[in-house]
Structure 1
Amino acid sequence: MDNRDEVSAFLKSRRAKITPEQAGLPVYGQRRVPGLRRGEVAMLAGVSVEYYTRLERGNLGGVSDSVLDALAQALRLDETERDHLQALARAAGTGGARARRRPKKATVRPSVLRIIEGLHDQPAYVRNNRMDILAANPLARALHCELFETEPVNTCRFVFLDPRATRLYPDWERVAREGVGVLRVKAAKNPYDRELSNLIGELSTRSDAFRTLWGAHDVHVFTEGTKRFLHPAVGEMELVHETLDLPGDDCLSLTVYSADAGTPAADALQLLASWAATQQQETAAKQAESER
């Protein structure tokens, strides 16, 4: 796996984001490039200019953890960016034998299915590293009813290729940016996942917005936060979400949405559950009628 272009672009993009003033460096004369110069990053990281130039050309193979830490500090990387840099370094040090291995297909354990099905008043789903939703409870299907109209159910394809996404997500720009950041993190950790590479290629070809955001080389990890929805049947709601990686399943994560009791969002979730039950009854009735 040759990830030198990815490494080079990431380091250059981080260097361009830091001003000399932010790094505590004096500024002399007019600067032709944004951000820090290579020599300034090298000085801050305690390495030679020649060595840093080698790193920024994408050669992270064999780089020690201490150098990576010094580089992360010099570039003022946050925790997610530090982890991303380490993942790129690990990928640079792997051999061709690993590249020939096909990633194991992820499946959702029955115990995890029971957990999400037991969350009757909270939308919950399991997603893989390609942002495919592999399992979801009825309330999650109702919350993302338009997303579940296509197969495979992929959140990034919906965000960038379905015009209804800009209505469902009032903060579409943030949702889109975070989704691209997650894919970039996953791509660094799973450099031999051909399906993931194909998804990134497809979105880059079909979406100008994705292509622009991908070129920024920003990274993101879903943990906790809030997300606004404008549901076609229920209206606007703001829900809290938690995302947890599933132990023993490196590529799977569980996401659960919730709302504090007594809030408008909690009332909206109850209305959503009622709407979902009605939809299920109507669907069952239609199926029964067609079978007669």
Structure 2
Amino acid sequence: MDNRDEVREFLMSRRAKLTPDQAGIAASGTRRVAGLRRSEVAMLADVSIEYYSKIERGHLAGVSDGVLEAVARALRLDDAEREHLFDLARVAHGGVEPVRRRKPKQWVARESLLRALEAITAGPAFVRNGRMDVLATNALGRAFYDQVFDGPGEGNLARFQFLDERSRDFYPDWPPAADVTVAILRTEAGRDPRDKQLHDLVGELSTRSDEFRTRWGAHNVRRHGSGTKHFRHHLVGDLTLTYEGLELTAEPGLSFLIYTAEPGSVSEERLNLLASWTAADAHGRGERAQASATTDLTKKPTEGPTHG
């Protein structure tokens, strides 16, 4: 992904979304678009039109933090958009390493992290990276996301969202859920533009999904810290869950997410039902494995050749 193209398209998309009324500017003359003109952004940021035009063409190298802050204020960027602009500027300044270092491709969860996940029993809990790969889950998380792992999703939430038709049932509010997924990937692309696996994923989804390609071109970014989501699980039905996302201090770039249901709600009952089925299934597998082992031990050994 060329950094200058990313900067240009991002700033142009933010400028196009901001109307003169929203920016507190009296509209004048014939306007071909609803958004702001470059000259208006330059005025709001207190820089020359020539300088802002250079910035919007993608030339962020040498641009001070103060100017970036002024541009962010002029365009009314939210916290996620502002961080994205500064990530793009860091790359333009020659920052070769992402702010949050990536882990090796073959990431292995620490035993203590796995124990922490399994200690959470009231809701699905999982660890994912910025590419939306689900790297580790608790037992309820595996049951909750079973379709993510057994189809074209291959354990990746973005692939599941756009390449698996079952996601249309799993996410009753599919369009806004798809918006969030792409915004998370776009944020990660600004933070870590050298991530080849992310490039490959974006290329794959852009080729195979018109829905993804359209959203990717919108250049929307967002934080994914907390909120409420609606799901329709194929085993237990509709669920309304709140989530909390935590950055793993010991694993920069990875997020620890926990879903919970409101106490006493139908969603809590359904989560408990899914958890009980999961526990029963795990117990059944354990009993079958124990029975198999016992049978093997009680079999009469096959007599071998007699040695004299």
Q: TM-score range by the shorter chain?
A: over 0.9
CA RMSD in angstroms, aligned pairs only: 2.1
The counterpart of 1:197, out of the listed 191, 199, 203, is 199
Residue 57 of structure 1 is matched in structure 2 by: 57
Residue 298 of structure 2 is matched in structure 1 by: none
- Aligned-residue offset at 1:110: 2.3
Relative distance call for 1:284 and 1:248 in structure 2 (3 A) is: closer
1:154-193 aligned at under 5 Å gives the runs: 154-193=156-195
1:73-92 aligned at under 5 Å gives the runs: 73-92=73-92
Q: In structure 2, what is the Cα distance between the partners aligned to 1:13 and 1:224?
A: 26
Does the 8 A contact of 1:168 with 1:231 survive in 2? yes
Task: Report the TM-score, using the length of structure 2 for normalisation.
Answer: 0.88
Letter of the 1:50 partner, please give it: E
Identity %: 51
Does the 8 A contact of 2:130 with 2:254 survive in 1? yes
Residue 126 of structure 1 is matched in structure 2 by: 127
Q: Which stretch of structure 1 is more off in the superposition, 202-211 or 244-253?
A: 244-253
Q: Which runs of 5+ in 1 are unaligned?
A: none
Does the 8 A contact of 1:2 with 1:92 survive in 2? no
- Aligned-residue offset at 1:286: 6.9
Residue 276 of structure 2 is matched in structure 1 by: 274
- Aligned-residue offset at 1:288: 7.4
Residue 113 of structure 1 is matched in structure 2 by: 114
Q: In structure 2, what is the Cα distance between the partners aligned to 1:288 and 1:111?
A: 27
Residue 222 of structure 1 is matched in structure 2 by: 224
Relative distance call for 1:72 and 1:227 in structure 2 (3 A) is: same
Task: Give the total of aligned pairs.
Answer: 289
Does the 8 A contact of 2:127 with 2:257 survive in 1? yes
- Aligned-residue offset at 1:251: 1.6
Relative distance call for 1:16 and 1:79 in structure 2 (3 A) is: same
Letter of the 1:224 partner, please give it: S
Letter of the 1:113 partner, please give it: L
Residue 39 of structure 2 is matched in structure 1 by: 39
Does the 8 A contact of 1:103 with 1:192 survive in 2? no
Q: In structure 1, what is the Cα distance between the partners aligned to 2:15 and 2:90?
A: 21
Residue 143 of structure 1 is matched in structure 2 by: 144
Residue 261 of structure 2 is matched in structure 1 by: 259
- Aligned-residue offset at 1:260: 2.4
Relative distance call for 1:172 and 1:283 in structure 2 (3 A) is: farther
Q: In structure 2, what is the Cα distance between the partners aligned to 1:170 and 1:270?
A: 21
Q: In structure 2, what is the Cα distance between the partners aligned to 1:173 and 1:289?
A: 48
Letter of the 1:273 partner, please give it: A
Q: Which runs of 5+ in 2 are unaligned?
A: 296-308
Q: SS where residue 85 of structure 2 aligns?
A: helix
Does the 8 A contact of 2:16 with 2:34 survive in 1? yes
